[in-house]
C-alpha cells in the first residue's frame, strides 16, 4: 500500500507530460502566469521598508566582515555562529555594490526563490492550485518576510533546504517510472536529481548549521518512500554518505561552537511553551508584540483558531493521503530532531527552526485544499487577510523594533552585571 504514492504521483506526472503538445503548451503558459504573479507579490512585499529599517548589530558586523580581506575573513570563520559559506557569498555579493540595502537584497532574492520552490513542491504533490496557494501563503507570511529583509543566513539556508525537498520530491515522482521501464534517460535524470539534492543540502548546511536536522528529516522521509525501489534507494543512500563526507570537516567546528551558540540571545531548552512560540511565529509573528492594541489582540485570537484548525486538518489529510505524506514526514521528523537536540542544549528558538517553516505552511495549504468550493476560498481569503494584518503590524508600527531593542538591552545588562563576556554580536540577532 505504501508503494501507491509512487504510482499516484507517477500518474500525475504522466498526465502532465504525456498529453498532447497543445494542452501541454497551455498548461505551461498558465503555470508561468501564476508563478510570475507569485514572484511579483513576493518581491513587492519584501522590498517594503527595506531601506527604512535600522541595521541589527549582527547585520552591521556582517557589513564590516564583507570589507575584510579574504585572508582575515577565512581566519574568523571557525569562530562564527553562521555557516562559513554565507560569509563568502555575502562578501562576493557586497563586492558588486555597496550599501546595506544591496546587502539585504541577497536575502530578498533567496526569499523569492523559496516561494518558487514551495510552489514547485505543491505542484508536484497535487496540482497548480495547491502550489500557488502554498506559494502565496509563503509570499505573504510575516515571519519569512521579516527574515528576508535581514543580512542574516537564515533565509538563504531555508531556501536551499526547500530546494533540496523540491528535488527530492521529483526523485520520488520519477522513481516509479524508472522501476517500470528502465529507460536510459531516466537513469541520467535520477543521477542528476540525486546530485542536485547533495549539492543543495551541502550549500544549506554551510549557509547555517540549523539546516542539519531538517536535512536529516528529508533524507529519512525519502528513504522511507523509496524502500521498495531498491536501485534508487541505493543511489539515495550513497548520496547521503557523500553528504556526510562533505560536511564532516565542519562538524567538529560545529560541536566546538555548540556551547557558544547555546548561550545565544534568549535561547531555551525544549518546552511546550517553546513549541507554541514556534507555531505562533510561523503563523502571525508580529501582532502579539502590539499587545496593548485591541486590533492586535483580535488578530492574534482569530489567527490562533484559524491556523490551529488548519494545521490539525492538514496533518490529518497528509497522514491519510500518501500523496501529501512527504511534507508531513519532513516537518515531523525535523521538529522531533530539534526537540531532542534542545533537550540537551538550550538552543531552542523559532529562528533556529526557520527551515521548517515552508513545510508548516505547506501543511496549512493542504488543510485549506481539503475543503470544497466556497469553503476553500473562504479559508484562503481569511488566512491571507490574517497574514496581511500581521504584515501591517510589522511594517506600520515601531513597537516590534522597540521590543527587540529592549530585549537586546536586557541581554547586555545581564552580561554586564555578571561580568560574563559577550560571545559575539550575532547573539543579539
pTM of the entire structure? 0.85
In the chain, domain spans = 4-428
| Euclidean distance between CA atoms 265 and 411, whole angstroms | 7
The torsion angles phi and psi of 350, rounded to 5 degrees, stand at: -55, -35
**417 pLDDT higher than 60:** no
Reported confidence tier of residue 280, pLDDT bands at 50, 70, 90: confident
Angle 231-233-234 from CA coordinates, rounded to 5°: 70
Reported confidence tier of residue 428, pLDDT bands at 50, 70, 90: very low
Q: How far is CA 163 from the centre of its chain?
A: 9
Reported confidence tier of residue 107, pLDDT bands at 50, 70, 90: very high
| Euclidean distance between CA atoms 394 and 401, whole angstroms | 9
DSSP letter at 69 equals -
**39 pLDDT higher than 50:** yes
> Grid coordinates standing for 8?
499516484
| CB-CB contact of 359 with 111 (8 Å) | no
Q: How far is CA 11 from the centre of its chain?
A: 28
> Grid coordinates standing for 34?
501564476
> Cell 562578501 sits at which residue?
91
Angle 242-184-202 from CA coordinates, rounded to 5°: 20
Query: How many beta carbons lie within 10 A of that of residue 53, not counting itself?
Result: 17
**DSSP assignments along 110-129, one per residue:** HHHHHHHHHHHHHHHHT-HH
**166 pLDDT higher than 70:** yes
pLDDT digits (tens, 9 = 90+) for 257-267: 666 665 554 56
| CB-CB contact of 314 with 323 (8 Å) | no
Residue, of 55 and 89, whose pLDDT is higher: 89
Amino acid at each position: 500500500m505504501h508503494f501507491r504514492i509512487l504510482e499516484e504521483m507517477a500518474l500525475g506526472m504522466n498526465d502532465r507530460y504525456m498529453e498532447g503538445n497543445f494542452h501541454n503548451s497551455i498548461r505551461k503558459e498558465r503555470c508561468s502566469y501564476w508563478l510570475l504573479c507569485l514572484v511579483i507579490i513576493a518581491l513587492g512585499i519584501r522590498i517594503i521598508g527595506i531601506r527604512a529599517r535600522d541595521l541589527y548589530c549582527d547585520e552591521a558586523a556582517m557589513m564590516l566582515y564583507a570589507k575584510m580581506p579574504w585572508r582575515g575573513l577565512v581566519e574568523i570563520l571557525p569562530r562564527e555562529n553562521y555557516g562559513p559559506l554565507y560569509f563568502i557569498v555575502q562578501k562576493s555579493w557586497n563586492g558588486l555594490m555597496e550599501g546595506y540595502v544591496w546587502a539585504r537584497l541577497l536575502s530578498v532574492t533567496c526569499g523569492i526563490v523559496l516561494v518558487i520552490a514551495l510552489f514547485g513542491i505543491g505542484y508536484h504533490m497535487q496540482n497548480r492550485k495547491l502550489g500557488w496557494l502554498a506559494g502565496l501563503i509563503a509570499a505573504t507570511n510575516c515571519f519569512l518576510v521579516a527574515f528576508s529583509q535581514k543580512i542574516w543566513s537564515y533565509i538563504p539556508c531555508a531556501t536551499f533546504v526547500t530546494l533540496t525537498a523540491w528535488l527530492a520530491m521529483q526523485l520520488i515522482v520519477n522513481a516509479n517510472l524508472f522501476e517500470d521501464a528502465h529507460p536510459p534517460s531516466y537513469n541520467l535524470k535520477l543521477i542528476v536529481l540525486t546530485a542536485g539534492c547533495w549539492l543543495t543540502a551541502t550549500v544549506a548546511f554551510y549557509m547555517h548549521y540549523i539546516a542539519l536536522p531538517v536535512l536529516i528529516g528529508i533524507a529519512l522521509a525519502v528513504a522511507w518512500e523509496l524502500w521498495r525501489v531498491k536501485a534508487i534507494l541505493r543511489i539515495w543512500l550513497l548520496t547521503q554518505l557523500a553528504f556526510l563526507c562533505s560536511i564532516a570537516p565542519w562538524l567538529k567546528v560545529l560541536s566546538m561552537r555548540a556551547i557558544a551558540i547555546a548561550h545565544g540571545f534568549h535561547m531555551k531548552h525544549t518546552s511546550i511553551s517553546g513549541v507554541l512560540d514556534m507555531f505562533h511565529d510561523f503563523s502571525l509573528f508580529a501582532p502579539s508584540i502590539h499587545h496593548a492594541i485591541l486590533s492586535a489582540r483580535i488578530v492574534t485570537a482569530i489567527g490562533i483558531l484559524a491556523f490551529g484548525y488548519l494545521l490539525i486538518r492538514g496533518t490529518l489529510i497528509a497522514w491519510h493521503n500518501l500523496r501529501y505524506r512527504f511534507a508531513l514526514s519532513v516537518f515531523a521528523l525535523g521538529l522531533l530532531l530539534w526537540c531532542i537536540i534542545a533537550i540537551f542544549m538550550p538552543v531552542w528558538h523559532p529562528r533556529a527552526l526557520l527551515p521548517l517553516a515552508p513545510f508548516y505552511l505547506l501543511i496549512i495549504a493542504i488543510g485549506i485544499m481539503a475543503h470544497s468550493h466556497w469553503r476553500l476560498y473562504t479559508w484562503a481569503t481569511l488566512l491571507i487577510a490574517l497574514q496581511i494584518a500581521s504584515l501591517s503590524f510589522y511594517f506600520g508600527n515601531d513597537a516590534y523594533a522597540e521590543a527587540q531593542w529592549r530585549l537586546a538591552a536586557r541581554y547586555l545588562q545581564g552580561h554586564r552585571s555578571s561580568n560574563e563576556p559577550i560571545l559575539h554580536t550575532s547573539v543579539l540577532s
